[in-house]
Amino acid sequence: MKIFALTGAGASAESGLGTFRDKDGLWSRFDPMKLATPEAFAHNPDEVHAFYNMRRQNLLSAEPNAAHRALARLEGSLTERGGSLFLCTQNIDDLHERAGSQRVVHMHGELLKARCTACGGTMSWHEDLSVEVPCPSCRCSGGLRPHVVWFGEMPLEMDAIYDALLGADLFVAIGTSGSVYPAAGFVSEARGHGIRTCEINLEPSDNARQFDEGRYGPASEVVPAWVEQLLSSRSSS
């Protein structure tokens, strides 16, 4: 069985990382147009660096939750049985990897990586970033930015993502409001190709009617139960 799983901020919510559009979400406290666009970085790099430095420090003290661990288990079990899990995340945290997932596609980039706008190099980065920090490879100052996809920029690895999506037997969206394209369009792409769809969320998202099935509750409870049911039904079939 080939499963395509898309995760959003709700998958990491119970690890203490904020979501974006919930009641006290990040975008209710910070203006994304001032912090998450290339223009914002060009006009006010210090403010953008401070925002991502705060999020990076929060992430370094966070831990994966049961939803991340269940998806890592699902990947291992499906692979053992000749199937596959393509785990595509909109999240920029590394909690899937720390929970044991071997293959994670970060379509919005990764908070624990930096990219140099001068030489294009990307590198692992856990410390605070600022305009004073020179790029380790080209030594250029002021060029390092978070390796994160901002509004107006192209998400990453979209060819691999669409190949995996259209070859899946099941598309499951976990903890995402389905507010931002192109991820928001994955469910209709899947339906258009006759692929079964399932939404796992705290409550029905605005896209809920597009899904064949919905399972609602905290991801740390609903995802492990869903994986358990999937694997036990597969082992009996």
The binding site for Zn(2+) comprises 116, 119, 135, 138, 140
Side by side, which strands form the sheet with 144-148? 122-124, 109-116, 144-148
How many alpha carbons fall within 13 Å on the CB side of residue 90? 23
Strand partners, 117: none
Positions touching ligand APR (CB under 6 A) are 8-10, 13-14, 19-22, 25, 90, 108, 175-177, 179-180, 201-203, 205, 218-219
Per-residue DSSP letter, 137: T
Q: Which of 13, 59, 74, 149 is close enough to bind ligand NAD by CB under 6 A? A: 149
Question: Given the rule CB under 6 A, which of 98-106, 123-131, 148-156, 206-214 is the region that contacts ligand NAD?
Answer: 148-156
In the annotated binding site, the residues are: 8-27, 52, 55, 90-93, 116, 119, 135, 138, 140, 175-177, 219
- 3-state DSSP call for residue 88? strand
Is 213:198 a contact under the CB 8 Å cutoff?
yes
CB of 128: closest distance to ligand NAD in angstroms?
17
CB of 118: closest distance to ligand NAD in angstroms?
22
CB of 40: closest distance to ligand NAD in angstroms?
10
**Is 108 part of the annotated catalytic residue set?**
yes
The C-alpha atoms of residue 157 and residue 133 are separated, in whole angstroms, by 28
In the annotated binding site for NAD(+), the residues are: 8-27, 90-93, 175-177, 219
Q: Which of 68, 69, 108, 215 is close enough to bind ligand NAD by CB under 6 A? A: 108
84 vs 201, which CB is nearer to ligand APR?
201
Both tokens assigned to 172: 């499951």
Is residue 111 within a helix (H) or strand (E), and if so which, with residue range?
Answer: strand 109-116
Both tokens assigned to 83: 């199937």
Is 75:85 a contact under the CB 8 Å cutoff?
yes
Nearest alpha-carbon partner for 229 in 8, 81, 70: 70
Q: Which of 155, 175, 178, 224 is close enough to bind ligand NAD by CB under 6 A? A: 155
- Residue 181 binds to ligand NAD (criterion: CB under 6 A): yes
- Residue 47 binds to ligand NAD (criterion: CB under 6 A): no
83 binds, among ligand APR, ligand NAD, none (CB under 5 to 8 A by kind): none
Q: DSSP assignment of 23-55, as one string? A: TT-HHHHS-HHHHSSHHHHHH-HHHHHHHHHHH
- 3-state DSSP call for residue 200? strand
68, 108, 126, 193: the active-site residue: 108
The C-alpha atoms of residue 222 and residue 228 are separated, in whole angstroms, by 10
Q: Which of 127, 132, 153, 206 is close enough to bind ligand NAD by CB under 6 A? A: 153
The residue ranges that bind ligand NAD (CB under 6 A) are 32, 36, 92, 108, 148-153, 155, 180-181, 183
Give catalytic residue positions: 108
